[in-house]
Structure 1
Amino acid sequence: MLHQTKPNHFIYATVVRACATSVAYLQLGKTIHSLVIKTGYSPNVVVETSLLDMYAKWGLVEFSRILFDEMPERNVVSWNAMIAAYVHNGKEVDGLELFYTMKCVEFVVPDEFAFATVLTGCARVSELKLGMQIHAGVLVVGFEIECVLAVCNMYLRCGEVSFAERFLRERGENATLKVLMIKGYVSNKRCDDALRLIGSDSNSIKFFVEDHSVIVSVLTACADRCLLKIGKQVHGIIMTLLGSHWDCQSKDESVTVILSALIDMYCKCSSVEEAERVFGNQIPLKHVSHWNALITGYIDNGLLNNAIEHFTRMPERNVVSWTAMISGYVKYGMPHEGLRLLAEMYSNKDSVVVQGNCVTFSVALETSSLLTALEAGKQIHAKLIRTIGKADIHNVVVGTALVDMYSKSGNLIYAKTVFNRMAERNVVSWTSMITGYASHGIGFQALELFHQMMAIGIEPNEVTFVSVLTSCSHCGLVEEGMKYFKMMTDKYGIVPRSDHYACVVDLLGRAGQLTEALSLLEKIEDEEASSELYGGSIWGALLGACRLYGNVEMGNRVAEKMLESNQQVSETYIALSNVYAAAGMWDEACRVREKWSKRSGDVGKPGQSRIYIHFPVPKPL
């Protein structure tokens, strides 16, 4: 009969760590935990720390915290394990609070692992101020060498690239640090610096050998700068590093991401044929992300039909697939199709449940905005609340999309309600609400909101000033409008575009200051070389003012100017005819219409209006 040896705490700890490697061992791990309690090896700091870590790696952080709180004895490893449990399971704030308790309440001296974990937490939540304080603590206790990567990563994730560059200058030969810097440069939209760092090293291939994931960053940089030649060189490196094991590694998640980035790079460099070649010939097992990358590439390159064809052929679709396709329909002016596809996504036709995310709902709301379909927009809003909860409050993109949808659909009360409930507002959110007021002719409220925005320190952008100038125009506030126009250029350094000039001309024209408006246009024409800045929309605004005030002479002069430059020909003839008609000069008005009809190739499109009594949605969301 075999001699039975009773396991000790080292054996239990080893087996528990083995169970932690996969959630498939969940039941076995719980059984071992029960056995530990029955055999009397609990409490034991080593075993309990191992159990704590096991539950954390399964994502059961609450179980880990119960164990931690019940431990009669804790060492620095136990604290580290619990802090790491929070940080690596998306509860970084809880991890940072526990670190404070460890250091400042329990007076446990953190080691280098504790500092590194907390710095990772700061990086993930972009907590720069606390990260700098922890960095100071690292310097005080002398762990700078051990924590150099964590400190550098924290600064990069918080957008302080210059701080991270100091470490690069001091430890420039560290390949791992250089890899981290390359990724950081790309994530901070400094793609040129990333490529420059790679090019400055005589043996740059070591970066790709050191960490295959850096390939994704380099491909992203090539896509951002449309550097097809360098992208092809990186493609060659991919084939060299992974080519011999391509088939067996195609299921590997990191390889899947690399191939998706490769397809994306070719598409963004307008080399769709190369992307199709990679997709068709070099990927034996196609992942859904590969399909998504190609479909998005087709949409970005104006090949909507190709995108539709591949979308229908997809063996599996996820939320990214549906969102990309709905976005494609919106981009190409087919909001009806986008709304239909959204309803199909929720129809569970293939018995596959796909739930939309914040991006999906933002794009869907844009379809309703384009159609001014209030009922459809309300349904999408309701589905959003049922699916994601309070995303309309806590997600600035979704909240802004709702404000825009309700404003364009004619319900300013709903738009204002959503705007007021938003926990965070950026310049786009404020601009959407200001534009809503301006487009509905409520100019004074738009200007009041504009001043509120500036009072809290949010800088307006080009679109904001278009709405502000429009509001001044509708309210007849000439002096205020000119003051805002000057503020735009002098204070905020925004270069006026054609729509800004059109607003100013309209502002002067509505106030009857036609001579001043014409002088401004002539000044623009003398100073600006680009015809875009004094295009048809600007002259058209002045022509409309001529009709309003019956100034036939100036109207005829402006129309001649527009026809000479071949700008908005049909609109010009119609507007000039209306100028004569408003002055009672009917013969001249008819003569202008005859000229227009004789001018070859200039057939105007008839104006259209639409009223939705009930917007048909294929199926309630």
Structure 2
Amino acid sequence: MFSTTLLITPPPPPTTTTTTRHSPTVDRLAFLVDKSKSIDHLLQVHAALLRHGLHQHPILNFKLQRSYSSLGRLDYSLALFERTHNPNVFLWTAIVHGHARRGLHDQALFYYVQMLVHGVEPNCFTFSALLKSCPLEPGKALHSQAIKLGFDSDSYVKTGLIDIYARGGDVMSAQQLFDAMPEKSLVSLTAMITCYAKHGELAKALVLFEEMEERDVVCWNVMIDGYTQSGMPNEALLLFRQMLAGKVKPNEVTVLSVLCACGQLGALESGRWLYSYIENNRIKINVHVGTALVDMYSKCGSLEDARLVFDRIKEKDVVAWNSMIVGYSMHGFSRDALQLFNEMCGIGHRPSDITFIGILSACGHAGLVSEGWSFFRSMKDKYGIEPKIEHYGCMVNLLGRAGHLEEAYALVKKMKTQPDPVIWGTLLGACTLHGNIALGEKIAEFLVGKNLANSGTYILLSNIYAATGNWYGVARVRTLMKDSGIQKEPGCSSIEVNNKVHEFLAGDRRHPKSKEIYMMLAEINGWLEAHGYTPQTDIVLHDLEERQKEQSLEVHSEKLAISFGLISTHPGTTIKIVKNLRVCLDCHAVTKLLSKITRRKIVMRDRNRFHHFVNGSCSCGDYW
């Protein structure tokens, strides 16, 4: 890890006289260079330096070069460096560091080689600078040189090497270097924790983290983000609360990770609390934090809050626009998404590939086939964006749900990239929706034959057969599934009450209020029966008795979550549910009716989209 503090250690005494070196003019100019906060001010100081004939002073040259680089003018720093006679190791190191910190790895390596060619021997600070963000292969070569020059024992160099191996995916080499360190600093511990967290080895990361005597905000951020990126948002939020309890002040990086965790969980109350924390602690709501808030609110079901934050963001970039477009899309507000796209393009922002994922998804939710094709073709023709597999997936979903199955199948066959199981599964789902048995069987057999089938493949094929009364086909699919050792992904629904997220599986009885939940469920069934509702038992496996089928539907995870919401919140409160799978037909119909009976708005986020149930209707228009 490169240390700026160590880097500014003065070089060996220059050849100028002692009087010049220690003159008040030099000291004053050095102070002014260090305190410069803008390019304009630094240029004024540079002009004064030239007037005093100190343009070749090694310390002032070094400080100017470093300051230009840190203020974002690497070109000025480089111009100054190239006019310097016989630059010493500190000046070479500064120019290497200036390029490395901006991710210009090839240029940083070039200047390192030039340094060697000019006969200047590097020091450990040079290696620390060079290793910063260096790719794995050149990093290995530098490791060999560090050993040869005796710098491998330096803690900053070793930490930089650990970081290189960690980023390159060579966890074993990183661990070997770390284990060989006689003393582990906070920086080296954080580097190793980052390595483990990045590669999903959170148990090992947690062991190191808990053994740390001192923890700064950086190592807390690494752990929180590790859990968030590994799809463990509950653990991320728990760690964040521990961080606050430990009196460690969060920064922007913390906020971004925790907002992402709230979005994954659909934990709106926690997200709102965090927004208040941000404002009360004067954490700047820049475009990055603002975009994360928009994303969080959209995923937590509060599109109104998302739009309020979006409108507050100054100097919106394309990522901010994308977050709002995707938010409208996932809630099924397709026309709003398209309008926002036009506004974005109208003020000169160029759409990205993510923009088109949002727009094509919006078209899919509304069945806008002609508009979808127009956007899809414009990607390459108008914006020079080559469609990726995600864009093809959006188009297959749009065409398939609209009943254009052969058109969707033809598009899949013409794809330049190999279609993945997700695209085939999307098409198979459309075959189930529209009862196209022949095409459904063809796709399923292809997936099974290529060993690409997952539980969803078998379930969809089984549903196709069940819908047509082909019980022999259903039994055959279930046998294939059992023989393959594939388990159906269990349905899981979550609801946040009083800043705590409660999760339910189908038939779950583990909750402390399980008795009250099932009493409410029985009451719900009475309401439904009184309103003439008949369970849609045709979607349940055929080899169950009719009453067993009804009981199977009654304990679906989303119904348990709704029951808990009804007993845990005040009348009239909106109930928000997050489901890991697509909501089934029966649960969708039941939730519509419950929104009318209870006079409550129920918002449900399933795998495909948001459903807003109000007074017996759903925002999806029964098209999902």
* TM bracket, shorter-chain basis: 0.5 to 0.7
Q: Does 1:413 align with 2:299?
A: no
The secondary structure found in structure 2 opposite 1:222 is coil
Q: What is the distance in 2 between the residues matched to 1:266 and 1:590?
A: 50
Q: Which moved more, 1:223-232 or 1:548-557?
A: 223-232
Instruction: Mark the structure with the bigger radius of gyration.
Output: 1
Q: Which one of the candidate residues 281, 287, 297 is aligned to 2:185?
A: 287
Which residue, 478, 481, 487 being the options, matches 1:603? 487
Once the 2 structures are TM-superposed, how far is the Cα of residue 302 of structure 1 from its aligned partner? 3.6
Cα distance in 1 for residues equivalent to 2:307 and 2:87: 53
Corresponding residue number in structure 2 for 1:188: 102
Distance apart, 1:232 and its partner CA: 3.6
Partner of residue 313, structure 1:
211
* Greater length-normalized contact order (CA 8 Å, ≥ 6 residues apart): 2
User: How far apart are 1:277 and its partner, in Å?
Assistant: 5.3
- Please, what is the CA RMSD of the aligned residues? 3.6
Deviates more, 1:467-476 or 1:228-237: 228-237
Structure 1's 216 and 111: CA in aligned 2 closer, same or farther, altered over 3 A? closer
Cα offset for 1:484?
1.6
Per-residue deviation, residues 542-565 of structure 1 (Å, max 9, x unmatched):
222223333222222222232222
1:337 maps to: 235
SS in 1 for 2:494: coil
CA distance in 2, matches of 1:96, 1:214: 29
Unmatched tracts of structure 2, length 5 or more: 1-23, 503-624
Change (3 A) 1:577 1:453: same
540-549 vs 609-618, which moves further: 609-618
Give aligned pairs, total: 476
Give the aligned partner of residue 600 of structure 2. none
Alignment partner of 1:261 is 2:153 = no
Residues 412 and 322 of structure 1: is their aligned pair in 2 closer, same or farther, counting only changes over 3 Å? Answer: same
Report 1:295-306 matches (<5 A): 295-306=193-204
Q: Residue type of the partner of 2:166?
A: C
Q: How does 1:123-272 map to 2 (within 5 A)?
A: 174-175=87-88, 178-203=92-117, 206=120, 208-209=122-123, 212-223=124-135, 227-237=139-149, 239=151, 257-272=156-171
C-alpha deviation, 1:418, in angstroms: 1.3
SS at match of 1:370: helix
Whole-angstrom distance in 1 between the partners of 2:476 and 2:394: 27
Work out whether 1:559 is the aligned partner of 2:473.
Answer: no
Q: Give the C-alpha shift of residue 203 in structure 1.
A: 4.7
Q: Equivalents in 1 of 2:358, 2:84: separation in Å?
A: 51
Letter in 2 for 1:362: L
Distance 1:296 1:173, change over 3 A: same
* Alpha-carbon distance in structure 2 between the residues aligned to 1:168 and 1:83: 17
Identity %: 34
Answer whether contact 1:112 1:143 (CA < 8 A) is retained. Answer: no
Q: Distance in 1 between matches of 2:330 and 2:146?
A: 49
Contact 1:198 1:204 in 2 (8 A): no
CA distance in 2, matches of 1:149, 1:272: 37
Shift of 1:206: 2.5
Structure 1 CA distance, aligned partners of 2:361 and 2:323? 14
Separation of aligned partners in 2, 1:184 and 1:400: 29
Residue aligning to 1:568: 453
CA shift at 1:152, angstroms?
6.1
CA distance in 1, matches of 2:178, 2:25: 47
Equivalent-residue separation in structure 1 for 2:273 and 2:232 (angstroms)? 19
Q: What code does the residue aligned with 2:375 have?
A: Y
Aligned-partner SS, 2:350: coil
| C-alpha separation in 2, matches of 1:325 and 1:596 | 41
Deviations 1:348-396 (A, max 9, x none): 3xxxx31111111111112211211111212222222222x152x3x22
Match for residue 549 of structure 1? 434
Q: 1:589, CA displacement in angstroms?
A: 5.4
Cα contact 2:136–2:165 (8 A) shared by 1: no
Pairing of 1:17-28 with structure 2 (within 5 A): none
Amino acid at match of 2:145: Q
Query: What residue ranges of structure 1 are gaps of 5+ in the alignment?
Result: 1-75, 101-109, 117-137, 244-254
In structure 2, the residue matched to 1:7 is: none
CA offsets per residue over residues 239-273 of structure 1, 9 Å max, x none?
A: 38xx6xxxxxxxxxxx7654542432343344545
Match of 1:55 in 2: none
**Residue 358 (1) aligns with residue 252 (2):** yes
Contact kept in structure 2, 1:430 and 1:453, CA below 8 Å: yes
Deviation at 1:145, TM superposition (A): 6.5
- The residue identity in structure 2 corresponding to 1:185 is H
Q: Give the structure 2 partner of residue 372 of structure 1.
A: 266
TM-score (norm 2): 0.67
Over 3 Å counting, the alpha-carbon distance change for 1:280 and 1:599 in structure 2 is closer
Q: Any idea what SS the aligned residue of 1:375 has?
A: helix
Distance in 2 (alpha carbons) for counterparts of 1:541 and 1:558 = 11
d(CA) in 2 for partners of 1:386 and 1:617? 24
Aligned-partner residue type, residue 234 of structure 1: A
Structure 2 counterpart of 1:346, one-letter code:
L
SS in 1 for 2:301: coil
Summarize the Cα distance change of 1:513–1:153 in structure 2 as closer, same or farther, 3 Å threshold: same
Q: Map Cα deviations across residues 584-606 of structure 1 (whole Å, 9 max, x no partner).
A: 44446534544444533222223
CA deviation map 1:189-247 (0-9, x unaligned): 221222133224545773524xx53322211253565632322422553538xx6xxxx
TM-score (norm 1): 0.67
Q: Distance in 1 between matches of 2:399 and 2:135?
A: 45
| 2:282 corresponds to 1:383 | no
